[in-house]
């Protein structure tokens, strides 16, 4: 089983007195509850992929279906703090639990992922209201290339 360990960037002012060991390991069945809790804390205003919370059963099936090229849990000092994935179309998705944000964890995890999964290009689909994510990916060198519009059918009566 692959796992990656890295010390969070010590040049980062936020981490100077707080050494954090970041580790990635593939999602497995023991993470289903953790991932469901993340869905519950998700801010629907900034999420693109989910407008409503799926049932526990459909969530479990989704996790077990290997939906992405690779999907890892981010662990810092032994605690699960979020996840990162890359799709078959080179789209990176990431979520950091609220209490662990603004510590440089997402930036570090994305850099680790780029070093493991070498691609010609990477994409990130971001809701235009998601300022945190726009800032994060912009800081990492991503540029804005398109806006995508959608039309949702009304659910059948
Ligand atoms: C976006 C997200 C992944 C950032 O995670 P994080 O670990 O807090 O990010 P970092 O600490 O590495 O932040 C790096 C930079 O991103 C920007 N940023 C992060 N959070 C921000 C916020 N709430 N507001 C403004 N800028 C923000 C800042 O420029 C930050 O650098 P700084 O802290 O030195 O100012 C996290 O807020 C999250 O999980 N959000 C919900 C899920 C999501 O939106 N995922 C992205 C869609 S793929």
Asked if residue 156 belongs to a domain, the reply is: no
Q: Is residue 48 predicted with pLDDT exceeding 90?
A: no
Q: Is residue 9 predicted with pLDDT exceeding 80?
A: no
Asked if residue 120 belongs to a domain, the reply is: yes
Domain count, the chain: 1
CA distance 154 to 157: 8
47 Cβ contact list (under 8 Å, min separation 6): 127
24 Cβ contact list (under 8 Å, min separation 6): 2, 3, 4, 72, 73, 74, 75, 84, 109, 112, 113
Residue to substitute in 133, 138, 140, 142 for testing ligand 1 pocket (most ligand atoms within 8 angstroms of CB): 133
- Bridge partner list, 83: 73, 95
Q: The domain that contains 77 carries what CATH number?
A: 3.40.630.30
C-alpha of residue 103 to centroid of ligand 1, in Å: 9
Q: Is residue 155 predicted with pLDDT exceeding 90?
A: no
C-alpha of residue 126 to centroid of ligand 1, in Å: 12
Range of the domain at 96: 4-139
Atom of ligand 1 nearest to the CA of 109: 12
Asked if residue 149 belongs to a domain, the reply is: no
Question: Which pLDDT score is estimated for 47?
Answer: 77
Considering only residues 6 and 111, tell me which one the structure prediction assigns the higher pLDDT. Answer: 111
Is the Cβ atom of 47 under 6 angstroms away from ligand 1? no
100 Cβ contact list (under 8 Å, min separation 6): 76, 79, 81, 82
pLDDT in tens, 85-112: 999 999 999 999 999 999 999 999 999 9
Q: Is residue 157 predicted with pLDDT exceeding 70?
A: no
The stretch 115-130 carries a mean pLDDT of 96
Asked if residue 55 belongs to a domain, the reply is: yes
C-alpha of residue 51 to centroid of ligand 1, in Å: 21
Q: Is residue 63 predicted with pLDDT exceeding 80?
A: yes
The structure's pTM equals: 0.90
């Amino acid at each position: 089983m692959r796992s990656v360990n890295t010390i969070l960037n010590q040049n980062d002012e936020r981490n100077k007195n707080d050494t954090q060991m970041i580790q990635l390991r593939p999602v497995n069945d023991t993470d289903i509850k953790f991932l469901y809790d993340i869905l519950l804390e998700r801010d629907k205003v900034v999420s693109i992929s989910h407008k409503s919370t799926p049932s526990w059963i459909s969530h479990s099936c989704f996790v077990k279906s290997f939906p992405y090229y690779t999907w890892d849990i981010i662990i810092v000092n032994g605690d699960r703090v979020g996840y990162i994935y890359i799709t078959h179309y080179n789209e990176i998705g990431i979520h950091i639990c609220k209490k662990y944000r603004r510590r440089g964890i997402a930036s570090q995890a994305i850099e680790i992922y780029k070093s493991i999964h070498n691609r010609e290009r990477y994409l990130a689909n971001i809701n235009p209201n998601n300022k945190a994510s726009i800032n994060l990916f912009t800081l990492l060198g991503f540029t804005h290339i398109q806006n995508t519009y959608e039309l949702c059918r009304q659910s059948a009566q």
